[in-house]
Structure formats: C-alpha cells, structure tokens
Structure 1
C-alpha cells in the first residue's frame, strides 16, 4: 500500500469512528461548510469548472489542532447544496511530508491545475518550502507533478499560499512571504506554461511603499481586477491594534490600486480590513461564469484561543463563511451574500413594521437558531438601537457616536468582548444566524462582522431595544437546514 493510500484510509477511518459524536454537537452548523471530523482552516483552490464549483480546504482529520494538512474537498453546482468529495491531496511525498499547505486552482487545457505549498520540517523544526503543482481531469483525483517554484533569495522559508491567474496571455503567481529582514511581503512570478516560473520581484510590502513596515508575514495573497481597479487581498501578521482596527491576533484585508503586468509593479492605497468581526481570515476568491468575483473566508483566526472552542469535545473545529460577491463601491470593497442563498429560505416570511420607544421587545415569530433577518429603513432618533440574540451576541448602533458594536460572550471565560467600526449611518442589516455563527452585512455590504458565538443551546430568542425612538422594517426567514 502506498503512503497516499495509507493516509487516505486512516482519514476515512477517523471520519467513520467519530461520525456520531460530531453530529451530536448542539453547535454543529446547519448550512455552512465544516470538516467531517478534525480541524478545517484556509479555503483552497476555489474555482468553477464545467459548471461545478470546487472548494478545497486545509484539513487535519486526526485532531482539532494543526499539523500535516490534507486538502479536503467540497463541490456544488449552486453554492448552496454541497457534496463532500474524496480527499484531494495527502501529505504523502517528500516535498510535502509536513503538510499540503494552502494554494489555488486554475483551469488549463480542460484540466484543473492546483498550486499549493509543500511544507517540510526536519527534526529540529527547520523549515523548507516548495510551491507544487498537481493536475486533475475531474477536479477529484489529482496527479502530483511536484515542486515548480523553489525559494528565491531574500526570503525566509515562511513562503507559501500561491495564487495563480492568467492575464494578457501570461500566467502570474503571487506568494505570501517573509523577507530575510522579517518584513511581510507578496512575491510575484510569471510563466508561459504553468510549469516553468520566473521570479519577478516583490509586488507589495517587503520594507517598501505603503506596506513597508506592516507586520512580519503576509499570508494568502490574491490579486484580481474588480470594477476597473486592481485589488490585492492578503492576511498580514504582526500588526499592532490601533483604536478599533486590528483587534484580532491577525488580520485579513485589501489594498486597491493599479497593477502593470509588464513590469509587475503595483501602485496601491492604504490597507483596509475586509471584516470587523472576531472570526475572518485567509479569504480566497474566484471569478465564476456569471462574471462575479466570489469570496470564501475561514471563520476563525490562527492562534486566537483555538484550544477553547466548545466543539473540540465533539471532535471537530471551524467552518467556512458564506459565499460573498465582491464589488467596489466608492473607495471600498463591499461584500454581498450571493443571491443563490435565498434558496435556503423555508416557505413563508415573518414581517413586522417596528417602532420602539425606550423599550425592549420580542416580536411574534422572530426567534430561532438558523434564521436570516433583514432590517430595512432603519431610523434612530438619537440614542441607540440594540439587537440581542439569546445570551450569546448583541448588535448595537449608537446614532450620536456613529459607532457600530458587535458583542459576544467569550467562550474562554464568559466575559463580554466586542469588535467595532465607525459607521456614518445605519440604514440596513442582513443577518445570517446558524446555531454558533453569525454574519452581519451592514448597509448592503458596506461593512461586515463575521463571528462564531456559543449561546445556551436551549435558548433561541431574539429581542430588540432602543434607548429613545427607533423604527425599521423587519423580515425573518427560517432557513431550511435548521
């Protein structure tokens, strides 16, 4: 039996052994993508090919901690109903023995080509890193071609997460990196055939420009055109908190500007966080056949209290976000839940026209653990508006301070913790609740807050309150997988 076959059999045995306990978890989500067992992290290889969306993911099947990662695999034709496919990649070869780390996918000559980081460590923990290629005719079974990019001079072995695309007849690859003077950077390569790659320099960071001193590592870079501009998404590590910004251990965000494919120069503006919540990292996008730029993110953050999650006793950890369409509106990138998600709605909608006068109120038919809420035409006369979800989460907007706050009960020690952003006006909110996750889209996607939270399993109430007078229109849908 080959090493690959041994690893696959061991992973499938782990799934079978723990299937019942995983499914007993009251915090198991109903309409998000999760691991069948073990730990899930970064979305990988997100692509639509022959009408099918493929979303691969970093997967550790043997524990709820990190280690020699596999690539798990989900597929869908509609971004709503997903099939968990066979394991895509196992860390079976010498150049990936300590993990098939994150990467991307591109279609070429009718086949899916995935590029990923092969992670290698010796007994002392010294790291080697290789950017590797594997090819598939069906998106399920892969033929590994081995390393195609070796570590360039000027970088440490923290060099990973290749994202590949084609532009003006040439292939490009960006890689998250750390320079030898410990600066976060994005490296860029070019190729004519997807096999032979030439290093072209540093695209962003590396001690230069607006990102000159911006943390010690950039992960998961993704460069793409959007609404007439070029957007670079990446996840910097090592930023210090600044007021309401950068409150998580690590961040995920973007810069906008102009990319010159001939010189590989990229002129860009300042960094902006993509999400203001507790749990959002390592996002990856793809362009689908409708011309949409769609994003998935990992609903967690590395090194941020991972050992304390309540789901660990049920042998699984972490989830993906819902898919979001990206648009440039004004000077910002907005995130909008993809339209296909309306298929999650059960028949019937609860509607209310709400006026609150210095009161707290629960509304008839508005409760549940797997629901979508839409608040429109919000008007607040000074003071604040508050939405509370059982005993686990609270959404609060102060009209006078122009501050939106998301609070949750900490799953570490039970204290209340918060994330915030400034917001000139609160006009609408679209909120997706799924047993132990919440995704809040403000003003049609201007701001988002993504978080896990763990309310008491027997509570499903939702209440609204205002310090003075507040009005809004409310729609509530139960979601089918609830």
Structure 2
C-alpha cells in the first residue's frame, strides 16, 4: 500500500472503533509478536521518551504512529513500572492536538520540577506550504493522571543559523540551573548539539553549542543525552550521514557516545573518540535516567528509521530493548542487563561439554524465548560457531575468531530479512578474549552482551516458528562450553 501524506497525518480521533479493532486483530496475527520486549499494540513505535522516576514509579513513553508501520503523525504512548521488569500500559499521554504540535508530538524527556512530573518535547507544526516549525513544549502531570500542556512554547522555532531540524530536548537540573540539550542541524548541513538554560524552568535562553572535536560529523545529530557517571561526563547522540568504515558505522544511522570532561561554563568538552553504543543491526535513539538507587539506566529503540521490516505486512513495527545499567570502566561505557530482570527467569536447563568440528550438537533443549548464558571455559579452536533459532533451513549464526578476537553476528539465514544496509553481518573486535555471552532471545529479536557488557549487539530477526534449536561447532580444535538457559515464556506485552 502506498501511504499518502493525508494517510500519514490522519489522527486517532478520525478513526472509527471498528477500524482500529481490525488493526488490532491484524497485528495480533503476526508470528513475530514479542514476549518480553515493549512493543506497540498496532502501528509503528520508535524513540523511547520521557524516561523518569517519579513518586515511586518509573514513567516511560515511546513515539507512536498507531495506524501503520510507517512514520506518520506521532503520539506519546505511556507505560509505568515499579521495577523496570513489569510494565503497565496507560495508552496515549500526548496527542498532536494543539497548534504547536499539530503534526506530531516528537521526542523529549521527563523531569521532576517542584514535585511535579514535567514532559519537555518537540512539537512538530507544518504551515499550509508544508514548512516545518519546531516548538519546544511542556506538559505537566495533574492529579487525575492526565498531562496538561502549557499554553505557550518555552522555545519557538530554531535559533538563527540552524535549520528546521531542531528537536529532542533532554533536560536536567544542576546546582540551581535547569539545562537542556537538543539535536540540531546548522545551515551548512552539519550536525551539532545546542544548549539552553533556565533558572525557573519557564524562561529559557540559548547559550552555546556543545563544543567537541566533531565539528563536521554527519548532517544531523538526533536524541542527545548528557549525564555524569563514575566521575566522567558522558554525551550520547545519534549522528546521521556517517560513512561506513571497516566494522564501524555499518547501519543507516548511528548511535554512540563521547566520554570526557565538560566545562560547565563554556560547554567545551575534552573527550575520546565517538564510540558506537551497540554493534548490531537495530539500535537507535537511546534515552537514560537515574533509577531509585542512583544507577544510570538506558532503553533503546530496537529499530532504525527509513528501513523496512517483515512485520510491516501486519501493520506494526519495532520494539524497545530490555533496560541496561550503564557504568564507565576503562574509559568506555559498559552495558549490563538490569539485574532485576533475573526475576523473569523461569525453568533452568544446563549443559556443558566439548564442541568440535563437523557441527557437533552439544545439547538437546529448544525454545524461542529465553535468556542464555554461554561460558567459554576452554578454547583451543581457531574459530567457533554457535547457531541459535535453528531449523533445517534457518539459523542465526554467531562466530568468534580467537586470533583476531573478532565476534560476528550473521543473520543471512535467520528467516525473513529486513531491508539490508551494508550486508547481513555485523562484527566487533573485543578488548580481551571472549569468555562469556549473555543472550536474550525473543520471538523476533536477539540482544547479545559480550564479556559482561564490554560490547552489545542488538538485532531483529524473523525466523519461522519451527526454528528453535541450538548447536555448536568449530573450524579446528575444540571448545569447552557451559550453557545455562532460562525460559522466558510468560508473555507480558
């Protein structure tokens, strides 16, 4: 189906109940609906937004176009959780229903101000000539659980010297001052981050661009995030328009970080190189918050813009990652699955032994939704292979080359393929020899944590229902594995 502009900007208020019920039924028929990842009831989800801890609960939102697997007029969908493991859906929190967000409630963040939960987001407005005007807006949670929008924007349009691509505010409070960073595009079509500040959360002034060594690094920077972590300053952002280089920057758009020291007076940052947050196929637009215990927690969008997925035929697309705890170790961000997720573990199966050449099947168990921990106790091979979601015709292949310390994810035979950008494999070179993999396998996704979160690879896969087996083999030599598998069969979303 060809989506016209009018179809993309049709709002939920114009949709009859029976029409939306048909969409729900169509989505429910999809063979790739997830068991334990947050996913939309229908339509397309993208960026996680507004992630914040408030009054004993976590509030998490995501961008949502309800009517199909395309980018159309955006809403914010609302979830809450006590533990970041089990979530309660609350439906639409922000709708595109004012002059300032008439064509979409775009990305933003949450912050508690004077005991109230505030959402700060970009309102997308189009003129009659289809000129985009971005406004930065605020909505406040009231006693009834509704988000009430302020009548006027806190920032009107882009600053001089920047294009209409001026969005995604992330707000924080530091020493009596509120700050906001936003993604922006300069008139010379280079990307950057702009910085605002306010003493009262009502009156905001533009102060600086964030000054980094990356002055010409893509044509737009989206979804910026700033935080302090383990005595370091960390900036996350998503540059668009970076050319692939070796194993780096293989996806259509990138998501990564800088670590260093930020001068809060000038917003000049000394830092190391830009490093990708995730080395898989499908990861973008992450957002973080501090949990009730002071830990920095991240959710990412398990998807990419401008990319077709097999679920599109069922009028839905995308999901969020599981939550990850961030730390800084050896000058690099380390990402670990949130420990509270161990409470989801069901029946456990273990197996251990040697894998050798000729596709030796190591263990008998099967399944489609699980957590799998693979400990590599001895490795005398030049290269070994682990195949997941295996059937006669399909498998998701993991390859480790010991000499190069190169780990590769190959989804060329994982079932129905996504629209591919730069091939069907992704690789990363590890800092140290591979000792452990922690893998979260859902109906249509895989998240791989290497060496206790040293690297992460996140990808969507779309296998057939009978692709459930696991097998191992080596190129030469032998490997002694220990496998621990926990069922994750209880369906939540």
SS of residue paired to 2:457? strand
Q: In the TM superposition, what is the alpha-carbon distance from 1:12 to its structure 2 partner? A: 6.8
Q: 2:86 aligns with which of 81, 99, 104?
A: 81
- Say whether 1:228 aligns with 2:231: yes
CA–CA separation in structure 2 for the residues paired with 1:27 and 1:139:
36
1:57-79 alpha-carbon deviations (Å, 9 max, x no partner): 10001121111100011111111
In the alignment of these two chains, the number of paired residues is: 469
Q: 2:160 aligns with which of 144, 153, 158?
A: 153
Q: In the TM superposition, what is the alpha-carbon distance from 1:393 to its structure 2 partner? A: 1.4
Q: 1:238 aligns with which of 237, 241, 259?
A: 241
**Residue of structure 2 equivalent to 1:125:** 130
- Bigger Cα displacement from structure 2, 9-18 vs 369-378: 9-18
Q: In the TM superposition, what is the alpha-carbon distance from 1:327 to its structure 2 partner? A: 0.6
**Residue of structure 1 equivalent to 2:384:** 385
**Residue of structure 2 equivalent to 1:24:** 29
CA–CA separation in structure 1 for the residues paired with 2:23 and 2:470:
33
Runs of 4+ in 1 over 4 A off after TM superposition: 11-15, 412-416
The TM-score normalised by the length of structure 2 is 0.91
CA contact (8 A) 1:175 1:188 kept: yes
Q: How does 1:262-411 map to 2 (within 5 A)?
A: 262-303=265-306, 305-306=307-308, 309-346=309-346, 348-389=347-388, 390=390, 391-409=394-412, 411=417
SS of residue paired to 2:26? helix
CA contact (8 A) 1:255 1:271 kept: yes
**Residue of structure 2 equivalent to 1:465:** 473
SS of residue paired to 1:84? strand
**Residue of structure 2 equivalent to 1:429:** 437
- The 1:13–1:195 alpha-carbon spacing in structure 2 relative to 1, beyond 3 Å, is farther
CA contact (8 A) 1:165 1:171 kept: yes
CA contact (8 A) 1:54 1:139 kept: no
Q: In the TM superposition, what is the alpha-carbon distance from 1:236 to its structure 2 partner? A: 0.3
The TM-score normalised by the length of structure 1 is 0.93
**Residue of structure 2 equivalent to 1:168:** 175
- The 1:470–1:364 alpha-carbon spacing in structure 2 relative to 1, beyond 3 Å, is closer
- Say whether 1:197 aligns with 2:196: no
CA–CA separation in structure 2 for the residues paired with 1:11 and 1:321:
32
**Residue of structure 1 equivalent to 2:4:** none
Structure 2: give runs of 5+ residues left out of the alignment.
1-10
CA–CA separation in structure 1 for the residues paired with 2:107 and 2:225:
12
- Bigger Cα displacement from structure 2, 39-48 vs 132-141: 132-141
Structure 1: give runs of 5+ residues left out of the alignment.
1-5
Q: 1:66 aligns with which of 59, 64, 71?
A: 71
- The 1:182–1:416 alpha-carbon spacing in structure 2 relative to 1, beyond 3 Å, is closer
SS of residue paired to 1:165? strand
- Say whether 1:474 aligns with 2:480: no
Q: In the TM superposition, what is the alpha-carbon distance from 1:20 to its structure 2 partner? A: 2.4
- The 1:452–1:481 alpha-carbon spacing in structure 2 relative to 1, beyond 3 Å, is same
Q: In the TM superposition, what is the alpha-carbon distance from 1:373 to its structure 2 partner? A: 0.5
